[in-house]
Structure 1
């Protein structure tokens, strides 16, 4: 259905219908006529033709969120869902684009979609920023000067979580702590950041730096890591797992060896995925309100679109320890 169909249905001129449907300012159209057009448009199922609107305004109502090439966990899904809800309330549609190593992919996407804005968790490479500028993307968040390769949410996603994990274990009396890292190269930077946060907490408490070991997501491999830890002269008594999946692998490997948490080895995860509460024993973990973080970034983006100064301060509430039985 087009505006011509609406004009035919109402018996009004195409110009009048166009003024109403586009909410054109400075037009003295009676309210009754406006209502007549809007009711006919709804009855016919009329929707604006997006390419035409983009040509008129120079940009679409789309906003692109570039996601890191991380496994798409429930935490990331919640982040995207809440960001999308906030943007939808303001009349925008969120489109996600997963980062790849292929150069120019984001620039080509922006050239095709003409989005109103693009945002992500990391500063974009200069070549991508230039491509987005050529595509007339008005708002890029974070801006190129946001940092030197650091994640926009580093204090929340990485070091903050690792520090909180270690601090919880230290408060429980543990003095020899290990970090269980994933063996997935896509999250190597993220996992290194969490391990660094745990190391900071240990250093502040006067404890040695945590041992770091990759833990495969299979029972035999996890059991092998636990065995190696226990055979070392400074065997750890507690482990900061990169996330709940790694923590669950450790618990399964421990059961294979006849060990249990927290008596033989305390384990704390991160993300508080639904399976964490059903682990044996139920998993102590760090909960991050990623939905709050997504909403926070979306609101910051909307403020920037309204011409306000960019505010990249990330201080989402709800990052806390969920204490269960494994640590």
Structure 2
């Protein structure tokens, strides 16, 4: 192709808006306060990729630091990124639940709230070889001997932990008797489920999807008000007679001590990202629901969420 023809082609593509976006000169650091393989890890990496594809940032450096419902990663983030406008930390309902139950020395209020991104509901699964065929089978076993059923999932205070406690209360069992085994990341939980080291596992559907589709795990209930689009054959907890409904939202925080202008810049980058094709594809692939919320509205939401989850945990007998 002649040079003048090539340049005319480029000009035409630019006018049509089909040229790749020019990446902003931002080298972003992403703290993922969980081990690889879980929901926060998937969210953080999908977000980073979408930010690059949308031209919002040029590079993304990820760091996984699991443990204590994200409190260990939170502490490292707060202590190591003060005033850094090019850092983000993935967080969500699980971190709030963990803070309520664990009362870590570093508070979430030390970091800067940026935005809520997505939400999803939990699915409970059993290994393919499990004698439990339905959630009612699990409930019968829990009623006979609560400790005989091992529930595996995220850290203590996670939404799947809360859901198990809510179920116990629903069936008249002391929630403190629930045998819950916390894991620092989705990879560990999946290994435990597949290995038969826990009786029932809980997490977002996207984390278990490949194992469900391959027949290695059997889904027995979801904590959504209606059946999931990704799993239309899996009954909700409610339709099985158990009033257990709880969602799991995820968002991001910025570093402590950034200026209002720097906070706005990060928010703008994220707003650009959530409108991108790459993020839309990640949302659809994982069955996530859009839950965008930023600014003062997000600040107020987090405050309400602390109060709401604490009340739910008290009612379920967790605290």
TM-score interval, normalised by the smaller of the two chains: 0.3 to 0.5
Q: In proportion to residue count, which structure has more strand?
A: 2
| TM-score, normalised via structure 1 length | 0.39
Higher relative contact order (CA 8 A, sep 6+): 2
| TM-score, normalised via structure 2 length | 0.40
Larger Rg: 1 or 2? 1
